[in-house]
A and B are shown apart, each in its own frame.
Chain A
Amino acid sequence: MSTDQKQEQEFIQFRYPRQVPYQHSLGYQSKFANGLKQGRILATKCPVCGRCTIPPRIVCPFHHVKQTEWVDQGQRGRLVSAFKINFPMFDPRTRELQSWETPLVAVELEGGASMDGWCSELDTSKLKTGMLLEAVWRPEEERQGRGDDILHWKPVEE
C-alpha cells in the first residue's frame, strides 16, 4: 500500500469522555483526615519499633503488629529531600495544571513520621537537607481532610 493510499484509509475512532464520581470510606485513615481538618498531622505508631507512619496504616509493615497508638506529629519537620519536576503535570482530581515551579519536598516531622508536600521556596539552591520547615495550612473552612489541606512547607529561621 502506498503512502497516499494509507493516508486515505479511514479509521473509525471514538471518544469516551467520562466523569466518574467515587465515594469511598477512608476507614482506619479517617482519624488522619479528621486531624487534617483541624490542622493537625497524626501518624500511627508501631508498638514494637516505635516507627510512625504517614499515611497511617493498621499494621506495621516491618513487625506485622497492629498499630493502635496515634501520635501527633507537630507542625514542623526537617527537609529530607527536594526536587522539581521539569514538565507540566495535571492533578487527576481537578484536571488543573500543577505548577512545576514548585519543588516537592519530603519532610521528617518532629514526631518521627515522614511525609511529602510542596515547598514555598521556589529556588531549590536555597533548600538544604536538614533545614527546618513549617506546615502552611489552607483556611480551616476550606479543608477537606485531604493531603492538600497542607498548602506547602515554609522554611523557618532557627
Chain B
Amino acid sequence: MSHHLPEISDEPVIAEVIAHTNFLVSTGATGTRFLKEIRDNKKIMGLKCPGCSKVHVPPRLHCPTCFVKMTEWVELSGKGSLTSYTVVRYQEPYMPKEPPYAYGVIQMDGADTGLAHFLGEVDLDKIKIGMRLEPVFKEEREGSILDIDYFKPSS
C-alpha cells in the first residue's frame, strides 16, 4: 500500500489561526462604584482595609494581605507620585494609543497601592520616578478607567 506512493515532504508547515473572543466582563460592585465616581464626580476613590489600614487604589473587595472585606471608602485628591513607568515604542493590534506613549504606575497621596495609567503632556525622555502627577479627565465619560485620559505632571 505505502511502498509505491511518492514520499511526502517534511517541509515545516506554519498554521495560521484566528482566535475569536468576545468576553463580557463585569466590574462588580466595587469596580462599579470606583468607575461611577470617576464618571459622575471626577473623584478617585479607594478602599481602606480595617486590618492593616492600607488604602487600595484601584479598590478591591478584599485586602490581599489580611483577607478581610474592605468597606471604608476613602476619597483621594488624585494627585500622586510616579513609582514606575515604561515607554511603548512599537505597534500591535488592540493597543489603546499610537506609539510612542508611556504607561506609569501612580501611587496617589493617601493610597498604599499603585494605579497603572497613561502619562501625558510629558516629554517621554524626561519622565522621572518620583515625579508629581495629577489626573486629566475626559469631557465625555462613560464609566471606564479611560475616563481618566492620562496623568500629567503637576507643579
Q: List residues of A whose CB falls within 8 A of some B CB.
A: 9-27, 29-31, 33-35, 38, 40, 42, 70-72, 74, 92-93, 95, 110-111, 145-146
Cα of A38 to Cα of B1 in the assembled complex, Å = 16
- Decide: A16 and B13 in contact? CB cutoff 8 A: no
- Decide: B14 and A11 in contact? CB cutoff 8 A: no
Q: Which 6 A-B pairs have the closest CB atoms?
A: A72-B2, A31-B10, A30-B13, A33-B13, A16-B23, A13-B26
- Decide: B19 and A30 in contact? CB cutoff 8 A: no
- Decide: B1 and A25 in contact? CB cutoff 8 A: no
Query: How many of chain B's residues have a CB under 8 angstroms from any CB in A?
Result: 33
- Decide: B14 and A16 in contact? CB cutoff 8 A: no
* B20 at interface, CB cutoff 8 A: yes
* B52 at interface, CB cutoff 8 A: no
Supply 10 further A-B pairs (C-beta < 8 A) apart from A14-B24, A19-B18, A93-B18.
A15-B22, A16-B22, A16-B23, A20-B18, A23-B16, A24-B14, A25-B14, A25-B15, A72-B2, A95-B20
List A contacts of B27 (CB < 8 A).
11-14
- Decide: A16 and B32 in contact? CB cutoff 8 A: no
| Chain B min CB distance to A92 (Å) | 7
| Interface residue from A12, A13, A25, A40 paired with B12 (Cβ < 8 Å) | A25
Q: List 24 A-B contacts (CB under 8 A).
A: A10-B36, A12-B26, A12-B27, A14-B144, A16-B25, A17-B21, A20-B19, A20-B21, A20-B93, A21-B17, A21-B93, A22-B19, A23-B14, A23-B15, A24-B14, A26-B13, A29-B13, A31-B9, A31-B10, A33-B15, A38-B8, A40-B8, A145-B13, A145-B15
How many residue pairs at the A-B interface have CB separations less than 8 Å?
110
Main secondary structure of the interface of A (DSSP, over half): mixed
Instruction: Name which residue of chain B comes closest to A11, CB basis.
Output: B32
Cα of A146 to Cα of B32 in the assembled complex, Å = 45
- Decide: A31 and B8 in contact? CB cutoff 8 A: yes
Cα of A114 to Cα of B27 in the assembled complex, Å = 47
List B contacts of A95 (CB < 8 A).
20
List A contacts of B143 (CB < 8 A).
12
